[in-house]
Structure 1
Amino acid sequence: MFDQLNTVLILLCRAISTRKLYFSDHPKVLALAAGFIEKLQTFCRDANLDKLFIGIVDNTLVFEGRNLVGPSIVGRQLIQFAEKLRCGGFSFSAQTSQAEFSALLDLSVDLKLPVESIKQARELLVANNIFTIEIAHHYVGSSGAMTREQRTVWQGQDTGDFLYSPTLIYQALFDSVAQTHGDVVLGQDIDIDNTRSVSEYMLHFTKAHFSDMMQHVHYPDYDSYTVGHSVRVAALAVFLGNAFNWSEEMLLALGTAGLLHDIGKSKVSEQILYKPGKLTKDEFAEIMAHSRIGAEILLAHKDSSPLDIAAAWGHHIRHDGTGYPRQPDWAVRHPITSLLQICDAFEALTAARPYKPALSPHVAYGIMLRDKGGFHPTMLASFISVIGLYPPGTMVRLSDGSRGLVMLSGPRIDRPRIKITKAPDGTELSGADYYQINLAAGEHRSLQVEELLLNEALF
């Protein structure tokens, strides 16, 4: 049941963050709204519930007495919306329509300031034709008095559980970047502390589960690639920094800077960002301005760090000092900016875009190595050594016909460690039957990677 609940909550939170980026009738918003209603109805039916109530206690989502710690990280914008409504949770009916849910999404954007009371919030819901989505009073606790109505609506208390998955960590990262970009679009203060806390979550997750998380960073549509790009750049950078044995403090700063490095693109029009054809001179000038704009946004925020600002400003400045924006003669390039520049370029080359297909890592490395003066040579060599020809998180087909997920690069960049998910005879293995092989080990010297499966995913 909790796997289903996890899916419902991810769709709910993803819809709120996406609505903040796009207009009400945007295909992406409509698809997420429809998906949420479908999964909500399925969950209510399978769990034999008339309503799904998600409570909020101490900034944590709660369901039937369980703290949903993981979804609470994803659901920060839902929690902030509840604060504006002065409520302690949301109740979604199995009869909730997509139109009502869409109206709630619109309200999450249109409501700029908190209402005075939950009574006013309920009147606001009715005024927006929202009848089957209800809001609850704040949970008072066993020592506090609660009315009969409050007890009826409230179903949660604060006992613990933790939904933990690669999908969840990726969604938390995606939601953090989407929220930041959305806040800039709406002219609101950005929450860098939230970005930093999610970066810390990513830091601890990637140490043991990097390949699993990277499986979730794909671009099934172009509307979200700008946000997904920042997530992948941050994850790559933290993975590299961890391989270099950098301190946790440095890795936390690195992840935060990676998530924020493209914040200036929130000021670039969608027509230019997602244009499938060649950009005009004026359009390219607007794209190039995103580095300067991003640095200015972060300079105006008291919680941003010098590294955040440097990464936003300098991730398109080349190792030889050319690129954009123009680098002052007195400026000294931070090595972390050099690393983020490499991660940024590699991600852009190996991901699909409206104007190009994804390139293989082999081809991407060739382009980067031939670009004399483009990248810090030692940092680029280290990047290639750690990531390899078959990056962790990609699927490959081996010479014996088996298939698997790349876990780590080996001493040779073409001989990684692989989790086998399909046997040589074509049999799909279950999770319990997966096994790992190390192509760098002697007993596997006869095997080699035959093909990188760019369009396949394990999950």
Structure 2
Amino acid sequence: MERKINDILILLCKGIANRKLYFSDHPKVRNYVGTFIAGVEEYFRLSGKDEFFIGIIDGSFIFNGRRLFGPTVVGKQLILFMDMLRCGGISFKSGVREEDIRRFMDLTESLRTPLKGLQEARELFRREGIESINLAVHYSDQPGVGPADRKRPWEGQEIGGFLQSPTMIYQALFDVVTQAHGDAALDREVDIDSARSVSEFMLRYTRTNFADVMQYIHYPDYESYTVGHSVRVASIAVFMGMRMNWKEEDILALGTAGILHDIGKSKIPGEILYKTDRLSPEEYNMIKDHPRVGAELLLAQRDVSPLDIAASWGHHIRFDGKGYPEKPGWAVRSPVISLLQICDVFEAMTAVRPYKQAMDPHSAFALMISDKNAFHPGLLGSFISMVGLYPPGTYVSLSDGRTGMVTEAGRALDRPKVRITAMADGTRIREQDQHVIDLGNISSQSLAIARLLLNYLPEGQPIPA
């Protein structure tokens, strides 16, 4: 039942995150609303209860006196909203209405300033016609809830098995970037500490599970690609830092800088940022100005590092000093920023965009190599050798018809290690029965990669056209 509670609450949190990116009637938002309601109704059926209550204390979700780690990681936006409402919990009645959930999600987007108290929040719900959702007083003195540990759950505490799901890892990163961009857009303080903390957790997880996270690199997040881009750039950068045996503190700083490097785009209007037609000169200049805007945003924040600012300002400056913004003669380019620039360009080329399809890694590397003096030559060579022509997390079809996910680059660029996930007839293989084939071994010489599956989602379903 605890896993069921986690799943239900995460659906709500992800629905809220999508509502901030899309309009209320968007199919993605409607799907999350419907799935959440179905989950709540199943809870009522299994438990025999007629109310689903979630408390919040010290920034954590509570259910029946127990802290819910997973939803707390992915649900920072809901926790912040609850704080603005001055409430200590939320309950959903049996028969909760779809229109109530959608109005609730609309409020998470429209409410800009904290309310004076719980009574004002309840009056707001009544004015909005929200009848099947109730707000509770502050949740405290519950059995099993002791003094709060001020450390974040991913900073050394026991996390159990919840975040061993790559979907939730990706969502946790996505949520932190979304919140940072949202706060910057509204001139609110950006939570640098959250970016730094989730960067640490990402480092710990990706030591052994990088491919599982990076399988989302081709996810078609058209309208939200700026957020997804930052998540994936940070993930690739952390992976490269680990492979090059950088110090852990340097890798953590690199991950945080990757998360925040495009924060200047939060000030660009959506109609320009997501435009599929050719940009006008004025619009293009606005896009080109985002590194400067981002650096100025970060300069105004507390606890920001010089690397965070340098990454935002310099990730579009080439190895030869060209690019934008114009580099002063006295500026010295850091190899860390040079690596981040490579990760940034590679991700942009190989991911779906509103105005283009994903490029295969081989073509991306060919363009990057042909662009003389654009990239640090030593770092670009290391990047290509460590990522390979079939980067970890991508899906491939083998010459015998089987499908698999690349887990690691091999000694030869075109012969990586592949985890077999489906048989030649398309039958999915259970995770516990999947095995890894090293195409670089002599025993695998009869096999080869037939093609890269750019339109293959982690769940194994093709991306709709």
Could you tell me the TM-score, scaled by structure 2's length? 0.89
After the TM superposition, which of the residue ranges 83-92 and 444-453 deviates more from structure 2? 83-92
1:230/1:259 contact within 8 Å kept:
yes
Aligned to 2:181: 181
Indicate the SS of the match to 1:250. Answer: helix
Cα distance, 1:62 vs structure 2: 2.0
Distance 1:386 1:298 in 2: 31
Distance 2:292 2:458 in 1: 39
2:216/2:458 contact within 8 Å kept:
no
Cα distance, 1:211 vs structure 2: 1.0
Cα distance, 1:271 vs structure 2: 1.5
Q: CA RMSD in A?
A: 2.3
Distance 1:378 1:45 in 2: 60
Aligned to 1:450: 450
Aligned to 2:407: 407
After the TM superposition, which of the residue ranges 134-143 and 166-175 deviates more from structure 2? 134-143
Distance 2:426 2:56 in 1: 47
Aligned to 2:224: 224
1:135 aligns with 2:111: no
AA matched with 2:209: H
Aligned to 1:328: 328
AA matched with 2:417: R
Cα distance, 1:220 vs structure 2: 3.1
Distance 1:201 1:123, change over 3 A: same
After the TM superposition, which of the residue ranges 211-220 and 354-363 deviates more from structure 2? 211-220
Aligned to 2:162: 163
Aligned to 1:96: 96
Aligned to 2:260: 260
1:288 aligns with 2:282: no
1:396/1:451 contact within 8 Å kept:
yes
Indicate the SS of the match to 2:437. Answer: strand
Distance 1:161 1:51 in 2: 27
Distance 1:217 1:85 in 2: 36
1:177/1:230 contact within 8 Å kept:
yes
Indicate the SS of the match to 1:62. Answer: strand
Distance 2:104 2:427 in 1: 46
Structure 1 runs not aligned, ≥5 long: 145-158
Aligned to 2:72: 72
1:408/1:417 contact within 8 Å kept:
yes
Distance 1:307 1:64, change over 3 A: same
Distance 1:113 1:457, change over 3 A: closer
Cα distance, 1:107 vs structure 2: 2.8
1:264/1:297 contact within 8 Å kept:
yes
Structure 2 runs not aligned, ≥5 long: 145-157, 460-465
AA matched with 1:88: G
Distance 1:212 1:46 in 2: 32
Cα distance, 1:350 vs structure 2: 0.5
Q: Deviations over 1:132-163 (max 9, x none)?
A: 1112222332699xxxxxxxxxxxxxx98652
Percentage identity across paired residues of the two chains? 53
Distance 2:102 2:426 in 1: 44
After the TM superposition, which of the residue ranges 193-202 and 53-62 deviates more from structure 2? 53-62
Cα distance, 1:420 vs structure 2: 0.9
Aligned to 1:62: 62
Counting matched residue pairs gives: 445
Cα distance, 1:127 vs structure 2: 2.7
Could you tell me the TM-score, scaled by structure 1's length? 0.90
Aligned to 1:147: none
Aligned to 1:149: none
1:68/1:161 contact within 8 Å kept:
no
Cα distance, 1:433 vs structure 2: 1.1
Distance 1:60 1:142, change over 3 A: closer
Indicate the SS of the match to 1:421. Answer: strand
Distance 2:358 2:7 in 1: 28
